[in-house]
């Protein structure tokens, strides 16, 4: 009896001491003088049973930044399925006679974010289109190039900041999206600081798109330029600096009209293969032949691009495609609320989230650390292992790759934490899984409203994560 009592007592002491170690590490973190103005939300959970090991303000609503993408990618997986692909269909209303297509060439788009994407450069819709027409011995097209749907549905979120819209990460949603919805601007700069630069190329390009260039050469060896412009506005104004003594220095800005850029690029690519349009009008009926169907990579690959590269464009398109399965007329501004309702029901978190986009670009997104951990626990316990594994495999590994490449490099969490980072001015968040002893531990930390340098916050979070990992 005494032996049993002693064992029970020692176990109790161990639990108390363990908890005190967790608490002490947390106290050290939140009492840092540099974090006195900050709001911190944190939760550490046991992935086997969902038991909360450590929490601080876990139910407080905070700005998630890009860890919002965890909701979006998981939503797409559960709604569309990991084997889902976007299809782009090419067909005609004419016949081929003497190397001439006597009709129009129709291309039906589906909002494929990977169409001619820089992130999947081993595949190409343009290449497949050219090869298909060459195989059919088409040398000329009498009709027109018609992109479907014919109405232009390019949209940006009304809650995004004006200063973001002109930059590459602020590109919106379009059924006709391609090339990641951004344009590469190639600058030349002189050896004089403050001297205006010149632009030698835009890629892709469209004839009526211009740039009011006010970018100058600077001493700092990085891109400090930025672009202003709205959807369908045919001019971007660019300010700021790029390094001096550069030739062909690349800066990325958002497309004002993806459909216009796509049409221009397709015509240009076909002309390179000596396939020309005569632009004669044909009746838009009597479709005769499907020339080919181009399929995107599987969804499992697309969500990896979202979580590894923190790709806003992919995130918004995956959210829209998923929301459209419930409401075929939904607009971008409303798609996030459909996703929000889905997760409120699935995770039983009535007051733990507020969504306005799928990428996390807006500061009006709100989430609690507990809500995100509930999502992580939900995915960890998926009955379909393929879905679970697809989500887990989409997350970068601390110290190795993606947006976590430098987190915990050379420390105990290197290779032992997988997850997503999120940051914007005054916001730094991490969410994912500690991996230890063949168990996964959902962990989310959200720091809002800090005034010190982001580099300092990252280091403090890294130290906390290492100390917590030690005690799991």
pLDDT, residue 348, reads: 86
Work out whether strand 427-436 and strand 439-448 pair parallel, antiparallel, or are unpaired. antiparallel
Computed over every residue of the chain, the mean pLDDT equals 93
Q: How confident is the model at residue 399 (pLDDT cuts 50, 70, 90)?
A: very high
DSSP reduced 3-state for 284 = coil
> In sequence order, what E strands does 287-438 have?
289-295, 353-354, 366-367, 417-424, 427-436
Distance CA 108, CA 105 (A): 10
Distance CA 366, CA 68 (A): 9
Determine the average pLDDT of the residues in 212-233: 94
Whether the pLDDT of residue 10 is over 70: the answer is: no
Determine the average pLDDT of the residues in 312-337: 97
How far out from the chain centre does Cα 457 lie? 23
Say which range, 42-56, 199-213, 270-284, has the weakest mean pLDDT: 270-284
pLDDT, residue 282, reads: 84
pLDDT, residue 286, reads: 65
Determine the average pLDDT of the residues in 368-390: 93
pLDDT, residue 9, reads: 37
Residue 334's H or E segment, with its range, is helix 332-347
The tens digit of pLDDT for each residue in 54-85 reads 999 999 999 999 999 999 999 999 999 999 99
Q: What domains can be seen in the chain, in order of their start residue?
A: 18-82+300-471 (3.40.710.10), 87-152+258-296 (3.50.80.20), 162-254 (no CATH)
Whether the pLDDT of residue 464 is over 70: the answer is: yes
Whether the pLDDT of residue 144 is over 90: the answer is: yes
Whether the pLDDT of residue 37 is over 90: the answer is: no
The tens digit of pLDDT for each residue in 111-139 reads 999 999 999 999 999 999 999 999 999 99
Whether the pLDDT of residue 12 is over 50: the answer is: no
């Amino acid at each position: 009896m005494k032996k049993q009592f002693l064992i029970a007592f020692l176990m109790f002491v161990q639990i108390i001491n363990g908890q005190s170690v967790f608490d002490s590490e947390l106290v050290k973190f939140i009492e840092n003088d540099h974090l006195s103005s900050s709001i911190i939300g944190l939760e550490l959970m046991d992935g086997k049973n969902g038991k909360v090991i450590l929490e601080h303000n876990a139910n407080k609503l905070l700005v998630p930044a890009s860890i919002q993408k965890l909701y979006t990618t998981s939503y797409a997986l559960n709604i569309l399925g990991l084997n889902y692909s976007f299809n782009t269909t090419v067909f005609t209303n004419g016949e081929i006679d003497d190397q001439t297509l006597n009709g129009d060439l129709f291309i039906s788009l589906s909002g494929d974010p990977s169409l001619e994407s820089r992130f999947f450069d081993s595949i190409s819709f343009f290449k497949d289109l050219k090869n298909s027409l060459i195989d059919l011995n088409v040398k000329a097209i009498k009709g027109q190039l018609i992109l479907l749907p014919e109405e232009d549905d390019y949209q940006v979120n009304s809650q995004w900041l004006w200063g973001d819209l002109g930059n590459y990460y602020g590109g919106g949603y379009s059924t006709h999206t391609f090339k990641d919805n951004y344009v590469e601007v190639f600058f030349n700069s002189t050896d004089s600081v403050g001297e205006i630069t010149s632009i030698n190329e835009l890629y892709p390009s469209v004839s009526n798109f211009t740039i009011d260039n006010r970018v100058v050469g600077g001493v700092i060896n990085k891109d400090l330029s930025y672009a202003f412009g709205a959807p369908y506005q045919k001019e971007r104004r660019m300010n700021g600096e790029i390094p001096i003594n550069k030739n062909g220095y690349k800066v990325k800005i958002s497309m004002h009209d993806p459909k216009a850029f796509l049409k221009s690029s397709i015509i240009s690519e076909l002309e390179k293969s000596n396939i020309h349009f005569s632009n004669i009008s044909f009746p838009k009926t009597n479709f005769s032949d499907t020339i080919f169907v181009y399929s995107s990579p599987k969804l499992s690959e697309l969500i990896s691009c979202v979580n590894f590269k923190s790709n806003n464009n992919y995130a918004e398109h995956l959210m829209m495609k998923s929301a459209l399965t419930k409401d075929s007329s939904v607009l971008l501004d409303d798609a996030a609320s459909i996703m929000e309702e889905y997760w409120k029901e699935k995770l039983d978190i009535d007051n733990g989230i507020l969504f306005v986009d799928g990428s996390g670009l807006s500061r009006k997104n709100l989430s609690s650390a507990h809500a995100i951990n509930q999502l992580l626990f939900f995915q960890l316990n998926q009955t379909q292992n393929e879905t679970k594994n697809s989500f887990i495999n989409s997350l970068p590994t601390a110290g190795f790759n993606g947006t976590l490449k430098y987190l915990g490099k050379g420390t105990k969490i290197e290779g032992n934490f997988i997850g997503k980072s999120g940051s914007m001015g005054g916001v730094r968040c991490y969410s994912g899984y500690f991996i230890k002893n063949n168990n996964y531990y959902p962990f989310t930390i959200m720091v809002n409203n800090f005034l010190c340098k982001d580099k300092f916050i990252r280091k403090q979070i890294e130290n906390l994560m290492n100390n917590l990992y030690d005690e799991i």
